[in-house]
Amino acid sequence: MSNNHQEAYKELIKRSREVHLIGSCASVLHWDEQTNMPPAGSEYRAEQSAYLAGLAHSKAVDPKIGELLDVLEKSPYMNDEYSDEAVNTREIRHEYDKEVKIPQELVEEITRVTTISQAVWIEARKENDFKKFLPHLEKVIKLNLQVAEHLGYKKEPYDALLDNYEPGATTESTGKVFDGFRSELVDLVKAIGESSKKPNMAIIEQNYPVDRQKLFGQSASAAIGYSFQAGRLDISAHPFTTGLGPKDTRITTRYNPNHLGQAFFGTMHESGHGIYDQGLDEAHHGTPRGDSVSLGIHESQSRMWENLVGRGKAFWKHFFPRAQQMFPENLSNVSLDDFYFAINDVRPSLIRVEADEVTYNLHILLRFEMERSFLRGEVAAKDIPEAWNEKFKSYFGITPPTDADGCMQDIHWPAGYIGYFPTYTLGNLYAAQFFAKAKDDIRYLEDQFAVGNFSELFQWLRSNIHVHGKKYRAEKLVEVVTGKPLSHKPAMDYLRQKFGELYDLK
């Protein structure tokens, strides 16, 4: 390897880490904005965030990076496509080619608009006032369309935006995976709905003191492997995870004093994200090799710990006696089987983040279709509530009573994250396929959960997924880990077996 190539690579990594450092500072501001910032601070926070976004963008599109990439792409480093040097060069090139197409003014404007939009959304959702939020949503959609036009796309604007969250994915390829999943999922939802067997939801829908909910959620989070030495748990309007550095990953949740499951499973979900971030290779921090693969793979980690582990019978064989100790007035006379059935209730519901495992994906498919519709200009922003309610009625058989429980429930649109939603269902599919492989590889895995041992799954995920960073794209990672391409079959097999038993389906 020539000294010229070595120096070029060293300089490229230095610049990558500098851009990442600025991004981590912006993440601190975002975390504070969502957890501690007073409402009146949003306008100046927008200026602070816009400044950092512009600074990061200016450094990310420096022509010197393009020159360094040109040198390295012709170097012996590229002979092994999965070497650290080749992976970092490939992924920095992918981002660089996108970033140089977007004007810095647009980057700053998006950050400014979405910071204010999120603050307005919080108030508008509380007041169920879509008209208050509408002008901000219109700006967000317009700016995302501008980004798509700058990036370019083959078939529709959604392709350009989806790639920001799931690199390499297209609307068409994602739609095909979803289509196969949808028909089988709808049949299962129908069969469950027709079952005469129903859980007693009063078990979890009663007063559960928030202070004890917090302690219980934290104990479960720590038990599965989330490190509170390198993280913390706070409250926000919408649960999220943000990595501020190699030893600082923060998660949030929200509490409902009249429902045990909402905060608990929200905490488990975000803990899964946090565990992934805490498991990335610190030696590669600030480079693609030390970054997560995609949001779909990130969601596979959160959904696995939340659902395949956290809503599993084995998990509660260990944790239910502890829940009874924590909430004796609620659970002392409840059986494990009845509790397990209640936390796995399947029925049409209004709120995505509180939906059951089976109907959850219908929430995502609805949003996927809505986003494509308004980006194509088929639905105007002002008509989103009506279009949402019509589609929701066709999917779930119920109509949201308010926009707060309908099209305004998620933070993604006010935050500008158009194209993000499909990664949740992709995450469910990845999770099921990974978990099936983990059960093949680890003998008596669920028996370990029953005695409170989650370390072998934790280490399996560390070794097979977390440590690789962006070494493999999502599609390739699934094949490397499981030996098979992504399929909806493992997810459907899991759902049919679990809910077939619960609802006595033939």
Active-site residues, by number, are: 270
Helix (H) or strand (E) holding 235: strand 231-235
Amino acid sitting at position 151 = L
Paired residues of 253 in beta bridges: 235
d(CA 242, CA 240): 7
Residue 471 has phi, psi (to 5 degrees) of -55, -40
Three-state SS string over 140-199 comes to HHHHHHHHHHHHCCCCCHHHHHHCCCCCCCCHHHHHHHHHHHHHHHHHHHHHHHHCCCCC
| Alpha-carbon dihedral angle through residues 337, 263, 431, 324, given to the nearest 10 degrees | -30
Residues 264, 63: contact at Cβ < 8 Å? no
Q: Give the pairing of strands 248-253 and 231-235.
A: parallel
* Vertex 225: Cα angle to 222 and 228 (nearest 5): 50
SS3 231: strand
Angle at the Cα of 466 from the Cα atoms of 463 and 471, rounded to 5 degrees? 100
C-alpha 8/C-alpha 74 separation (Å) is: 12
**Alpha-carbon 218 to chain mean position:** 20
Q: Which residues pair with 252 in a beta bridge?
A: 234
